[in-house]
Structure 1
Amino acid sequence: MSRFDRRDFLRTATAGAVLAPMAGLLLSSAGAEAAPATPLPGSAKGGAKAAATFRWLGNSGWRVDVGSSTFLVDPYVTRFDTGLSSGAFNPVTPLTVDTKTIRRHVGTPKTILVTHSHWDHFNDVPYIATSTEARVVGTTTTCNLALAFGVKDGLLSPVKGGEVLDFGDHVVEVVESLHSRNANYSMLFPGELASRPKRRPKNISELPEGDTLAFQVTVKGGPSVFFMGGSDFVERNLAGLAPDVAMIPITSSSSTYDYVPRLLRALSNPRVVVPVHWDNFEVALKNPPQADEKSKKSLAEFVATVRRVSPGTRVVTPEYLTPYTFG
């Protein structure tokens, strides 16, 4: 297969420096020489709400610890090579799971939020769910794939968008969303699964997109955070969300009109934007994140656009597994 720009297939991969935090944004970095994670406003010692700590798992993946509980968003830490970065992409790359790396980084989650079912979002989800009894929240396609991998039906929560789920110390609002489009106005591995596959999927092409969701998570006593897994959106579906923090994938192409300005306006100009889905997710989860030159340029353009259209918003480019708190 001839070499191609992997940004035409998925979203972009870029790198950049962490910009200075704004007033009211509390950051901590265990990997760098920084202060410990700082409690959020409204939390206190002796029984009140504990701080929510956010750790980037690469790509659009997150581990969030709220008090004594943990939830995950699109956890993919196996990060196997498909040839996507080198230009020798193999669409039938076998699915593999790095159980050791997963156990090292994801903790014991109670919930896994899955935006869509492509391998770089879903691959590790079945192992995590079966080994920890975590609940999987995702589309019908996501849930049917999970069944094929042996996840118990009782651990699956199919959603469409519009659901508001109370998990005790945080609330999850499910938002119907869109996957990004490549330069040909298409996407890799489209399609949905209306029923459980007859056999367990064996390669990445057997994990279709299956519709895309976004999630707004509001930590009780803490921030509201908007998580996206695809760099497109339904503008009308974002009305009234107004999150404090938005985890936004860098766009893969110019196919989506006015992506950043429209998105920031729709989200009422969040105080903090964290760009995601910019790293090379086919290499080990090790700092500093790797990215190609074209992707670095894309991130720089993203940051410049945020500064121009929403000057009150700060952009924080995360590093892997680094604890951040927002408040």
Structure 2
Amino acid sequence: MIQYLKNNRLQALFRGFLFGTFALMSLHCAFRPSGDLKGYESYFPHENPNTSIQKGKIRVTFLGTTSILLDDGETQVLTDGFFTRPSLWKTAFTKIESDPVILTSVLEKAKINRLKGIFVCHSHYDHAMDAPFVAKYTKSKLYGSNSTINVGLGAGLDKENMEEFQVGKPIKLGKFTITVLESKHTPPFRILGKTNATDPNFPNITTPLVPPVKALEYIEGGTFDFFIQHGKNKIVIKSSTNFVKGAYEKIKADVLFLGIAQLSLQPKPFQEEYFEETIQKLNPKLIIPIHWDNFFKPLNKPLEPNLKLGDDFDANMQELLKRTSKDQIQVQLLQGFESLDLF
């Protein structure tokens, strides 16, 4: 009997060891990048222009996630401006807030010195958290939904430095004209028991959000795309992998910044319609994928694809390249702080 109990105990210990090893291996895989950028080297320009911007040209600098800096040499326009990028541990288990040291270093490195407007795609922390502080440091104006305005108020930004944008109403900044378009957030997902789905009882941030706060307190508050005109040149910035049917019915774009996060995880009919409502309707010459990088990693290190825990960068890119190759549309990836002259 004693020997039998010993054997049972040993077997239980061994099973526990195997289960623990398997769990650790699974976690290790889940927290690895969901793709290898070496396989996409030909899609990176790796030729940062350092000359002054010629008249009529527009230079884009990618600053991770959906932070896109557009510059015509006179006026700069920025989307989101999420630069702090707290770690996964901090985001999951602590309250988070903007880091002034990181923000000022990014502003200096990216030469953000003539910024006139920051346009926030939606009010989740990886889009809206840093925007008020960037506006404050650069003396520029913050544009967003009512939820984003409450993020700004909580951060101490003056009301005169913010404006709640309206869908369809153009905003002119220098030679840029920005029109806000209604959109949708990437379909909800669940990771480690938590979901990013909007609670229908609390769809917006209704009072000033004073940091530090938990990441989940940054409620979506509506999602928006931006149609940007500069002379004859037209740009669309789509931050989230979703669409409003017919939203692009009457517009075309030369360049499309396309959100690809979790694209391949969606059902095939969704993918088909997503491409139809974006690429097919806009008919761009160039597509630059965005929201593909792991925003828990700092911006001062080379960007890596999103974690396997919640995405599949390789599959996302393969789906995109399959669609664009048919129509001979150019696809270009940008590393952090990498710039490209669009026109």
TM range (shorter): 0.7 to 0.9
* 1:204-231 Cα shifts (integer Å, max 9, x gaps): 111111110000111225x211111211
Q: Is contact 2:59-2:72 (8 Å) kept?
A: yes
Q: Who is 1:303 aligned against?
A: 320
Structure 2 stretches lacking a partner, 5+ long: 1-25
Q: Which residue, out of 18, 21, 40, partners 1:17?
A: 40
Which residue type is aligned with residue 29 of structure 1? Answer: E
Q: Who is 1:323 aligned against?
A: 339
Quick one: structure 1 residues 19 and 104, their matched pair in 2 at CA, closer, same or farther if it must change by over 3 Å? Answer: same
Tell me which protein shows more helix as a share of its residues: 2
Quick one: structure 1 residues 189 and 6, their matched pair in 2 at CA, closer, same or farther if it must change by over 3 Å? Answer: farther
Which residue type is aligned with residue 321 of structure 1? Answer: F
Q: Who is 1:80 aligned against?
A: 86
Cα distance in 2 for partners of 1:212, 1:90 equals: 23
Which residue type is aligned with residue 303 of structure 1? Answer: L
CA positional deviation for 1:287: 5.7
Quick one: structure 1 residues 266 and 211, their matched pair in 2 at CA, closer, same or farther if it must change by over 3 Å? Answer: farther
Cα distance in 2 for partners of 1:213, 1:18 equals: 31
Which residue type is aligned with residue 217 of structure 1? Answer: I
Quick one: structure 1 residues 232 and 65, their matched pair in 2 at CA, closer, same or farther if it must change by over 3 Å? Answer: same
Q: Which has the larger radius of gyration?
A: 2
Q: TM-score, normalised by structure 1?
A: 0.80
Q: Would you say 1:104 and 2:118 are equivalent positions? A: no
Matched residue of 1:90: which SS?
Answer: helix
Alignment of 1:275-286 (within 5 A): 275-286=289-300
Cα distance in 2 for partners of 1:131, 1:103 equals: 9
Which residue type is aligned with residue 98 of structure 2? Answer: T
Q: Is contact 2:61-2:340 (8 Å) kept?
A: yes
* 1:115-164 Cα shifts (integer Å, max 9, x gaps): 00111111211111122221111111111221111111111111241111
Q: Who is 1:254 aligned against?
A: 266
Q: Is contact 1:73-1:113 (8 Å) kept?
A: yes
Which residue type is aligned with residue 205 of structure 1? Answer: L
Q: Who is 2:330 aligned against?
A: 314
Quick one: structure 1 residues 163 and 282, their matched pair in 2 at CA, closer, same or farther if it must change by over 3 Å? Answer: same
Q: Would you say 1:148 and 2:154 are equivalent positions? A: yes
Q: Who is 1:46 aligned against?
A: none
Q: Who is 2:4 aligned against?
A: none
Q: Is contact 2:151-2:210 (8 Å) kept?
A: no
Q: Would you say 1:188 and 2:196 are equivalent positions? A: yes
Cα distance in 1 for partners of 2:93, 2:197 equals: 9
CA positional deviation for 1:278: 0.6
Cα distance in 1 for partners of 2:186, 2:235 equals: 20
Cα distance in 2 for partners of 1:154, 1:112 equals: 14
Shifted more, 164-173 versus 265-274: the winner is 265-274
Cα distance in 1 for partners of 2:67, 2:209 equals: 28
Q: Is contact 2:152-2:208 (8 Å) kept?
A: no
Matched residue of 1:258: which SS?
Answer: helix
Cα distance in 1 for partners of 2:274, 2:36 equals: 16
Cα distance in 2 for partners of 1:211, 1:145 equals: 14
CA positional deviation for 1:29: 2.1
Q: Which residue, out of 224, 232, 235, partners 2:234?
A: 224
Cα distance in 1 for partners of 2:189, 2:215 equals: 21
Which residue type is aligned with residue 215 of structure 1? Answer: F
Q: Who is 1:118 aligned against?
A: 124
Higher relative contact order (CA 8 A, sep 6+): 1
Quick one: structure 1 residues 205 and 54, their matched pair in 2 at CA, closer, same or farther if it must change by over 3 Å? Answer: same
CA positional deviation for 1:299: 3.5
Q: Would you say 1:131 and 2:141 are equivalent positions? A: no
Q: Is contact 2:227-2:235 (8 Å) kept?
A: yes
Q: Who is 2:47 aligned against?
A: 29
Cα distance in 2 for partners of 1:214, 1:125 equals: 17
Cα distance in 2 for partners of 1:66, 1:312 equals: 27
Q: Is contact 1:165-1:171 (8 Å) kept?
A: yes
* 1:261-303 Cα shifts (integer Å, max 9, x gaps): 2233553321111111111111122464212566332243233
Q: TM-score, normalised by structure 2?
A: 0.76
* 1:236-269 Cα shifts (integer Å, max 9, x gaps): 1111221100001114130545254223355332
* 1:142-188 Cα shifts (integer Å, max 9, x gaps): 1122111111111111124111112231110110111001356x951
Give the aligned length.
299
